[in-house]
Amino acid sequence: MLSFFWSLIMKKPLILLSGVLMSAGVLAVGALPPKYQNINDVKAMLEVVESNDLMASGLQSINLDEYVVYFRDECRAFFRRESSREGQPHGSLGPVAPLVLDHIECGPQTP
């Protein structure tokens, strides 16, 4: 009889631990691997380029590290992440907010 209760006590932590691990896996499902996030970011930047004739005709390069599109001689389009993820609690896991056009600058770069 004592061995029966001992086996229940020993199994309970394993059941609790497996439940915690399973629920943690569900919380982390929304994040994209870097490969796919980079593809989404480039697509968002290219949508803006395609919609702007000056950018499309003078495209020079895309800097994915700094979210900048270089076009014409000295023009740059700066992108940023949308700041709000409506409906999601602060600190929750999930996909990052999409890139949006922040502003465009033309002229020499200042260090």
Q: What are phi and psi of 32, to 5 degrees?
A: -90, 145
* pLDDT attached to residue 85: 59
Q: What is the mean pLDDT of the chain?
A: 78
Q: How far apart are CA 26 and CA 23, in angstroms?
A: 5
Q: Which residue has the higher pLDDT, 105 or 110?
A: 105
3-state secondary structure of 3: helix
pLDDT tens for 53-98 read: 999 999 999 999 999 999 998 999 999 998 765 666 666 666 788 9
pTM for this entry: 0.64
* 3-class DSSP string for 4-69: HHHHHHHHHHHHHHHHHHHHHHHHCCCCCCHHHHHHHHHHHHHHHHHHCHHHHHCEEEEECCCCEE
34-55: burial string, b at 16+ Cβ within 10 Å, e else: eeeeeeebeebbeebbeebeeb
